[in-house]
Structure 1
Amino acid sequence: MTSILTNSSAMAALSTLRSISSDMESTQGRISSGLRVGSASDNAAYWSIATTMRSDNKALSTVQDALGLGAAKTDTAYTGLNAAIDVVSEIKAKLVAAREPGVDKTKIDKEITELKNQLVSTATSASFSGENWLYNDSTTAIGTKEMVGSFTRSASGSVSVGILEFDAATSVLIDTVDSDNGQLTKAIEVEQGANVGTGTANGTYYLVLASGGTAPTGADSISLTSSTSSEDIDGMISAVDAMLTSLTDSAATLGATNKRISMQDDFMADLMDVIDKGVGRLVDADMNEESTRLKALQTQQQLGIQALSIANSDSQNILSLFR
């Protein structure tokens, strides 16, 4: 039946054209944004996962910044410790040289004094962002230092921040308040003279006395005079060697912590990349597919317009029946 009131063909063609236009709008949106799932209405599950993981990636980026700060602090402390080890080794060598008969011990002592000043300078300079793990002039002892190391999300959805720790008390070289807390200011008991090998200490020495600090009770300074005995020099050498051992252990621990931070930083960078790729697989648009779909829709749109034009012309053809 042909009706001039109801054009079924035109209505069908118009409906098809509207559907094609809607699909084109969606496809163009994907092409312009690059996202297959750009909002919750596109795919609620994928959008929720992607939004959460993007948020976690921002947290991981902050963790990476914190790791960089931790690495800078440990690098600074390690550099200072390493320099201190070199200086203490030099002091040990000077004491061994003082053991030589006929050597002017007072001149060697002047060299040792300058080396001590260098140790103080090294300890006070090893500071980063206001933190110094080698020098303490506070009434509060330097304790364990914490550094943000990770951000994790459990299977239940709860989140937590991982912490890396370093006991900075082991790296303090100089403590001006409590000399016992400093590797170079504390008293070192040694066996010397007839007591060597007996297990009974009969000599106590310290290396550095910081400005404003108090010498350990009952301990002698590692310094030389023209009358310093060979027995005392041997005791000083033993004390300095014990300090070297302690400093080496502390530097090794600090170096291991620094390596851990470096490895964690690399892992964080890789993890962020993997998460980005995973989110991309969920929500990113395949541009090859979308461009092909757009071409097809453009063709369909042209055909739809042509079909609508033909359907609209049918009613005009009725006029020829009345001529």
Structure 2
Amino acid sequence: MTSILTNSSAMSALQTLRSINSNLTDTQNRVSSGMRVEQASDNVAYWSISTSMKSDNKALGAATDALGVGAAKVDTAYAAMDSAIDVVNEIKAKLVTSSETSVDKEQIQLEVKKLQEQLSAIGQAASFNGENWMVNTTNTTVVDGFIRESDGTVKINTASFKAGSYAMFSTIDGGVGSGGILGAVMTIELTSVTTQGKIDTFLDTVETALGKMTNGAAALGALKTRIDMQDKFSSKLSDAIESGVSRLVDANMEEESARLSALQTQQQLAIQSLSIANSSSQNIMSLFRG
């Protein structure tokens, strides 16, 4: 039966066209944005996971930046320690020279004094961003990672350095360092009446300081190695997270391209079908023509 009040065929064709247009709009959005999960309504689970992981990746990037600052601090401290070792070795050489009875110990003391001043200058200059590990009494830490636990909690991972144990000086007052590894070295003073026994004591003091400084340089080197390894790992981890998020939310452009072409064809056919359905009611007019 044909009715001029209700065109069932046109209604059906219109519903089909609406569905196609809706799917076409979604596909066009995915093609333009490159994402198949752009908001929570697209896929609640994937959107939630991707949002958390993007946040973690950003925090990991910040931790990597902080790692760079830590590496700079370690490099600064190591450069100071390495230079100070060379200076202390020079003091050691001067003490050995002073053991010769014919030398002027007071003249050697002038050189020793300048070397001691150089040690203070090295310690005072070993500062990065206002932090000096070579003039310190406390232990320090550097950020080396961002971790999300299995229970969902997060924390910042740090690496520690015993700056208080390996510091060249505990304080520098008036340009003169005191305390720390080199505190005793700074008290060495030769005079014309300094005995060989006293010189031997000075040599023992220098050897003790060199041993501690060597241990400090080794600790800094180990920390630098850890920082370098963590930096490489953080870079790989960040890439892996980004790739994983991409698998969850990024659109497959090959599939979307094929779907877009198919929907455009379906849209054209649905419009044609609706046109045919609408024209069927016009045929009733022919029944009333004489």
| TM-score bracket for the superposition, by shorter chain length | over 0.9
Q: CA deviation at 1:37?
A: 0.9
- Take 1:227 and 1:313, find their aligned partners in 2: how far apart are those partners? 125
Aligned to 1:134: 134
Q: CA deviation at 1:177?
A: 8.2
3-state SS, counterpart of residue 255 of structure 1: helix
Alignment of 1:242-261 (within 5 A): 242-261=208-227
Aligned to 2:185: 207
3-state SS, counterpart of residue 107 of structure 2: helix
The residue type paired with residue 180 of structure 2 is G
Deviates more, 1:72-81 or 1:102-111: 102-111
Aligned to 1:280: 246
Deviation digits for residues 17-47 of structure 1, max 9, x if unmatched? 1010000110011112111111111111111
The residue type paired with residue 244 of structure 1 is L
Aligned to 1:17: 17
The residue type paired with residue 146 of structure 2 is F
- Take 2:165 and 2:189, find their aligned partners in 1: how far apart are those partners? 25
Query: Which ranges of structure 1 fall in alignment gaps of 5 or more residues?
Result: 137-141, 186-205, 209-220
Does structure 2 conserve the Cα–Cα contact (< 8 Å) formed by 1:88 and 1:240? yes
Does structure 2 conserve the Cα–Cα contact (< 8 Å) formed by 1:169 and 1:181? no
Aligned to 1:159: 154
3-state SS, counterpart of residue 225 of structure 1: coil
Aligned to 1:236: 202
- Take 2:205 and 2:211, find their aligned partners in 1: how far apart are those partners? 10
Aligned to 1:184: 182
- Take 2:160 and 2:108, find their aligned partners in 1: how far apart are those partners? 41
- Take 1:267 and 1:322, find their aligned partners in 2: how far apart are those partners? 84
Query: Which ranges of structure 2 fall in alignment gaps of 5 or more residues?
Result: none
Does structure 2 conserve the Cα–Cα contact (< 8 Å) formed by 1:106 and 1:224? yes
Q: CA deviation at 1:231?
A: 2.9
Rate the CA distance shift 1:150–1:176 in 2: closer, same or farther, 3 A: closer
The residue type paired with residue 151 of structure 2 is S
Instruction: Determine whether 1:319 maps to 2:285.
Output: yes
- Take 2:110 and 2:172, find their aligned partners in 1: how far apart are those partners? 26
Q: CA deviation at 1:181?
A: 4.2
Q: TM-score, normalised by structure 1?
A: 0.83
- The percentage of counterpart residues that share the same residue type is 55
The residue type paired with residue 115 of structure 1 is L
Q: CA deviation at 1:171?
A: 2.2
Q: CA deviation at 1:280?
A: 0.7
Aligned to 2:52: 52
Aligned to 1:175: 170
The residue type paired with residue 82 of structure 1 is D
Does structure 1 conserve the Cα–Cα contact (< 8 Å) formed by 2:104 and 2:192? yes
- Take 2:160 and 2:244, find their aligned partners in 1: how far apart are those partners? 32
Does structure 2 conserve the Cα–Cα contact (< 8 Å) formed by 1:46 and 1:282? yes
Does structure 2 conserve the Cα–Cα contact (< 8 Å) formed by 1:76 and 1:127? yes
The residue type paired with residue 240 of structure 2 is V
The residue type paired with residue 230 of structure 2 is Q
Q: TM-score, normalised by structure 2?
A: 0.92
The residue type paired with residue 237 of structure 2 is L
Please tell me the root mean square deviation across aligned C-alpha atoms, in Å.
1.9
Aligned to 1:76: 76
- Number of positions where the alignment pairs a residue of Structure 1 with one of Structure 2: 286
Aligned to 1:217: none
Does structure 2 conserve the Cα–Cα contact (< 8 Å) formed by 1:81 and 1:171? no
3-state SS, counterpart of residue 135 of structure 1: coil
Bigger helix fraction? 2
- Take 2:121 and 2:151, find their aligned partners in 1: how far apart are those partners? 52
3-state SS, counterpart of residue 193 of structure 2: coil
Deviation digits for residues 133-169 of structure 1, max 9, x if unmatched? 1125xxxxx2111222222122221222222111111
The residue type paired with residue 9 of structure 1 is S
3-state SS, counterpart of residue 182 of structure 2: coil
